[in-house]
Amino acid sequence: MEFLIFGTLGFWILMGVLTVSMFIWIEWEKGFFASFTVIGTILVMQFLVEINILRYVWENLGTMLMYGGLYFVAGTVWSVIKWWFFVHRHLDRYENAKLVFLREKNVDAIRGEEIPDALKAEWTANVGKYYRPMSDEYIRPDDVRPKNIRPKAYSHKSRVLMWMTYWPWSLVWTVINDPIKRLFREIYYRIANLLDNISKHVFRNVFF
């Protein structure tokens, strides 16, 4: 198909569809669909665009093995970096849950504040009501405790493997997406107390 030949508009549209699709699957953490998209694109390139990928790989086997090794090394390094971002996101969720608990107990707390000693036992017993484990974490909702909510690699095997396997898209999407989310979260955390003070002022004459 001439309209899909390398450098044509059709080719770049195909690459754009691949890229956007991969960003979506990575954001939604759908490894199966990511694999389906990549394999489908390779088949299109092989049989419709008539780029003989298999023959090229065979004729340049040594070079491709070297690049393959570098790809796996890069994927491993990226998975460690991405894990760092991931556990910090979990910490954000935990801090938010803790803040909700403190405010329900009429503690005028700010994000990151420690649980008062008088409430630690109650928080430990009821943390599962405020902090929900992710669906693929092996923690029963009735067994959620501060000591066992730390993300563990074995509970996120498929997620880490997806980061490693599709690291180019994962890296680019993280660079694009994570800083924006983090920026708005930080802005929100900075102005949350200001917003609460405005609310208190407006409702200063209302008694409950």
pLDDT tens digits for range 51-105: 777 888 889 999 999 999 999 999 999 999 999 989 988 888 888 888 889 988 8
Rounded to the nearest angstrom, the gap between the alpha carbon of residue 70 and the centroid of all alpha carbons in its chain is 24
Q: Are 78 and 167 in contact (CB under 8 A)?
A: yes
pLDDT tens digits for range 173-195: 998 888 787 788 778 877 877 88
pLDDT tens digits for range 110-163: 777 889 889 988 988 888 888 876 655 555 555 666 667 788 888 889 999 999
Q: pLDDT exceeding 90 applies to what percent of the chain?
A: 30
pTM: 0.74
Q: Are 49 and 11 in contact (CB under 8 A)?
A: yes
Per-domain residue ranges for the chain? 1-59, 61-208
How far, in Å, CA of 165 to CA of 33, rounded? 13
Helices (H), the chain: 9-28, 31-47, 53-59, 61-104, 117-126, 157-165, 167-202
pLDDT tens digits for range 27-61: 888 989 999 999 998 888 888 776 777 888 889 99
